[in-house]
Structure 1
Amino acid sequence: MSIDHYSDSETTNKLALEMPGERMRRLTTGWLLLALGSLVVGGLLTIVIVLSRTPYVQDIFPWVDLFHTALVVHVDLTVLVWFLGMAGVIWSVNSQSSCLRCGWVALFLCATGSIIISLSPFLGSASPLMINYIPILDDPLFFSGLIIFGSGFLALVLRGLFFSRPIGMRVTGQGALRFGLFSALISAVTALGALLGSWLGIPASIQGEYYYELLFWGGGHTLQFVHIQLMLVCWLWLATESGIASRLTPRTVLLLFAFGLIPVLMTPVAYFMYDVGSAEHQIAMTWLMKFGGGLAALPISLVVIFNLVNSLQSPASPSPQRSALFSSIILFGVGGIIGFMIEGSNVTVPAHYHGSIVAVTLAYMGVTYHLLPLLGFRRPTGKLVVLQPWIYASGQLMHVIGLAWSGGYGVQRKTAGGAQALDGIEKVAGMGLMGLGGLVAVVGGILFLVIVFKAMWPEKKNSL
């Protein structure tokens, strides 16, 4: 048995979060179950979405209406609920036990809203509107679920602002990560404020789909900074737990997280300078995301990659945390590069954001593997566990490349079936690669859920 010995300096500079007490661990587990449940339901809808856009298969069944409805719920579950559920997990790890009831109320509201969103298509909700960031079903039942979920998220954020563990006067590795978590909370408050500002500022003459596009445009852009800041916390945490030595001091990490907040803090400027319904406002929010999203992510990813490459020279046992870390950085880089290639409204756009959101998902997968034994569950082991992030990432990479390739030939986004107009071998090949990659990613996602739920399932006790 090997025992790790850390000097006081190493312990102080270690970029890792310590676990909370038992009561907060139960709340953390609740948020984890909500996040995993959203993947289960959203994953089932993925099969319908992928088949509806795959050449030849799309012609067998009339998928188009089902495609749009399934896509709305799929995106809301696998991006909005999954991401914010995992935000609840990580913020709960860093939370004090004060006002614990507030935490459970937040979780209950988010879970209730998620259930309503999931069931709404089967209870008569229709009229899918494929708007950016938060696609919706234009139906009162769906909106009630979305509002209840949003109320829970607001309660989660407010509790995090007031009852997170202190950063400390002395800048330590843990303190730097806590500042990163606090910066994500500030980003979340700003995103909610942007949503309110858009609601108040949209001209009364604007109605229909464009109204909702404007409503979620500013807040949706700002919400991406929540995901980025949390992903960076996960990267640094996973690197530490994977045995990858950090060449970043805690003070430098804290400074980089502060840089990541700059575009967030400029969001109110866009609202004061431009009318919500103006093209200038939309362009300003887009530019903040386009050029501000990498302020902290680029230097941190470069340092982590450098440290990761150096760590390969020394023997170290493979781990799912390391696999998730490396694949997450690759997908984030690919998604970022594709973002600068966007011209018009074609499938290059979803290629960009798929790369970015998959990077966040992979980081959360790695953190989930790390947290399971710390929350009292079994530690997932075996070669398949190490390979799972790579299987999922390789499928998503094929999916992203296929979309980017097809976008270059003009295949439009938010279409399915014959509406895609796949009238050339280049388009067919690109979308075929997209479909194959999507199915591989589904396999990787299923593997993740099977591995995690198997680790969480109670062991059978042998009876005498």
Structure 2
Amino acid sequence: MSENPPSAERLPAFPVEAGVPRRLAVGWLSLGLAALVASGLFSVLLVLSRTPAIQEYIPLLDFFHVALVVHVDLSVLIWFLSFAGVLWSLAVGAQGAAWGWSALALGALGTAIIALAPFAGAGNPLMNNYVPVLDHPLFLAGLGVFGTGFALLVVRTLLTPAPADGARGAWTTALRFAMRAAALTAAIALMALAWSWLDIPADMQGQGYYEFLFWGSGHILQFTHTLLLLVAWVWMAHACGAKPVVSRRTLTLLFALAASPVLLALPIYLGDEVASLQHRLEFTQLMKYGGLATFPAIAVILFSLPATRRVNASQRPARAALFASLLLFGAGGILGYMIEGVNVVIPAHYHGSIVGVTLAFMGLTYHLLPQLGFGAPAPRLATIQPWVYGGGQLLHILGLAWSGGYGVQRKTAGAAQGLDSMEKIIGMGMMGLGGLIAIIGGLLFVIVALGAMWRRQSR
């Protein structure tokens, strides 16, 4: 790249407009942070219930699956979709504000119901994939309310005309396209959910019902998360001094390529009944091989990274989060190709991938806070935090992968794990230690983010 880039490239990767876009983004970010705080409380119980020695003295088994359901839904579903709300609010400008505020209000109400449902008597946890549920009217109502808010958010993003970018540069044009492409994949996921609901036999109940209900839409939504992950990586790379190594048209085409496997969802739904083994298998293959379509975009990002070697103090948090995110997402992807059978290698895979996305969103949060009207995060803590959280999660998933190699089953706790050998105990001990370190890292993120928000608000 030229040593003297065009002036447009000195601008932020993406504009943060004052007024409605910024206020809505702050609202969705606040909702996501609240969900992380609540999920953290449940995660403490989860880790303790599976850690050797400790599990013998703390009788958490009965609450384990209830806590696991709420923890997963808050820390993955609500957090990821709330951060999507942050990005989409910035992507579409001020038009359709009423829809935006309605979506946020419904999202907040649904999240509150989900978090409080266990304390209001909601039980009967069902450990289906993607969106585990408490099969109780109150919890399901919370999911429905949040889902309605998310649907409004997606519709607003797709129907509101995008502001003109002019000559801002390759990053801005491509990022806006990627964010709207992510909204389109989310809309397809919602349509897939409706299709599944209509197609599942009326007499199917329990975990099997929800497994098939969320299977197709859950797989499609992973492409939404991946596109927004790419957005966060590009945004942070730019913030650390990277410059495009391809043209804006090429970068846009690479984002389109990353989204394109979602189009195969239609023939999958047309080809087999939703409640069939073939339907499940085809979506598994779509995720396994469709994810390869992201590699060209990832390669472009990686080739831009050498320019980030020299950064100032304010850029270090974003760079730390960027590199930690790349490491964890890569580890999760590799483990995905090592899955054999139903054991804890499976959660090792998706924990790595999920944490990779989470770290990217954390780092972008640090970068966006001053632009959203808050103070800058404490540089030292914000730089250390991604490595504490990412390092703990890496130890966590390596422990799970190790234990999975010795046959420890997933979604079990206490004596049900069958820790009858030193290898299994060591692996799950690594898992527990890594999980506790990651909890500290997650707590640090909340402290740093809320600290920056509080300092600005208290002036």
Deviations 1:90-118 (A, max 9, x none): 11111221121110100000100000000
The corresponding residue for 1:7 is 6
Paired amino acid for 1:91: W
Deviations 1:219-253 (A, max 9, x none): 01111111000000110010001112331322221
The corresponding residue for 1:209 is 207
Q: Does 1:336 align with 2:333?
A: yes
Distance 1:112 1:316 in 2: 40
The corresponding residue for 2:114 is 117
Distance 1:460 1:414 in 2: 42
Paired amino acid for 2:275: G
Unaligned runs of 5+ in 1: none
Q: Does 1:132 align with 2:129?
A: yes
Deviations 1:163-184 (A, max 9, x none): 1525769884311111100110
The corresponding residue for 1:283 is 281
Matches within 5 A, 1:147-296: 147-166=144-163, 172-296=170-294
Distance 1:140 1:332 in 2: 35
Distance 1:56 1:258 in 2: 50
Q: Does 1:91 align with 2:114?
A: no
The answer (yes or no) to whether the contact 1:167–1:176 under 8 Å persists in 2 is: no
Distance 2:457 2:186 in 1: 42
* Deviation (angstroms), 1:459: 5.4
Paired amino acid for 2:370: P
Paired amino acid for 2:222: Q
Distance 2:69 2:164 in 1: 38
Paired amino acid for 1:408: G
Matches within 5 A, 1:413-428: 413-428=410-425
The answer (yes or no) to whether the contact 1:15–1:176 under 8 Å persists in 2 is: no
Deviations 1:397-451 (A, max 9, x none): 0001111111111100000000000001111000000000000101111111001
Distance 1:265 1:206 in 2: 28
The answer (yes or no) to whether the contact 1:106–1:151 under 8 Å persists in 2 is: yes
Paired amino acid for 1:7: P
Paired amino acid for 2:444: L
Q: Does 1:448 align with 2:445?
A: yes
The corresponding residue for 1:432 is 429
The answer (yes or no) to whether the contact 1:185–1:226 under 8 Å persists in 2 is: yes
Paired amino acid for 1:97: A
- In structure 2, the CA distance between the partners of 1:236 and 1:43, relative to structure 1 (3 Å rule), is same
Distance 2:27 2:19 in 1: 13
- In structure 2, the CA distance between the partners of 1:420 and 1:23, relative to structure 1 (3 Å rule), is same
Unaligned runs of 5+ in 2: none
* Deviation (angstroms), 1:6: 5.3
Q: Does 1:326 align with 2:353?
A: no
Q: Does 1:376 align with 2:396?
A: no
Deviations 1:294-330 (A, max 9, x none): 312x233333334324543x56555100011111111
Structure 1's consecutive aligned runs of 4 or more residues displaced over 6 angstroms after TM superposition are 167-171
Paired amino acid for 1:24: P
Distance 1:37 1:9 in 2: 36
Distance 1:9 1:451 in 2: 31
The answer (yes or no) to whether the contact 1:34–1:111 under 8 Å persists in 2 is: yes
Q: So what's the TM-score if we normalise by structure 1?
A: 0.94
Work out which of the residue numbers 17, 33, 36 in structure 2 matches 1:36. 33
Distance 1:24 1:460 in 2: 19
The answer (yes or no) to whether the contact 2:240–2:311 under 8 Å persists in 1 is: no
The corresponding residue for 2:299 is 302
RMSD: 1.9
Paired amino acid for 2:89: S
Paired amino acid for 2:334: I
Distance 1:188 1:316 in 2: 37
- In structure 2, the CA distance between the partners of 1:55 and 1:372, relative to structure 1 (3 Å rule), is same
Deviations 1:24-54 (A, max 9, x none): 2111111110000000000111100001010
The corresponding residue for 1:59 is 56
Distance 2:96 2:458 in 1: 36
Secondary structure at 2:92 match in 1: coil
Distance 2:457 2:222 in 1: 42
The answer (yes or no) to whether the contact 2:42–2:68 under 8 Å persists in 1 is: yes
Distance 1:399 1:190 in 2: 33
Secondary structure at 1:379 match in 2: coil
Deviations 1:243-276 (A, max 9, x none): 1233132222111111112211111110001111
Distance 1:135 1:47 in 2: 19
Work out which of the residue numbers 24, 48, 57 in structure 1 matches 2:21. 24
Deviations 1:112-142 (A, max 9, x none): 0000000100001000001100000010000
Paired amino acid for 2:305: L
Paired amino acid for 2:416: A
Secondary structure at 2:142 match in 1: helix
Identity %: 51
Secondary structure at 1:266 match in 2: helix
Distance 2:266 2:154 in 1: 19
Secondary structure at 2:252 match in 1: helix
Secondary structure at 1:410 match in 2: coil
The answer (yes or no) to whether the contact 1:351–1:400 under 8 Å persists in 2 is: yes
Paired amino acid for 1:357: I
- In structure 2, the CA distance between the partners of 1:395 and 1:101, relative to structure 1 (3 Å rule), is same
- In structure 2, the CA distance between the partners of 1:8 and 1:455, relative to structure 1 (3 Å rule), is closer
The corresponding residue for 1:410 is 407
Paired amino acid for 1:382: P
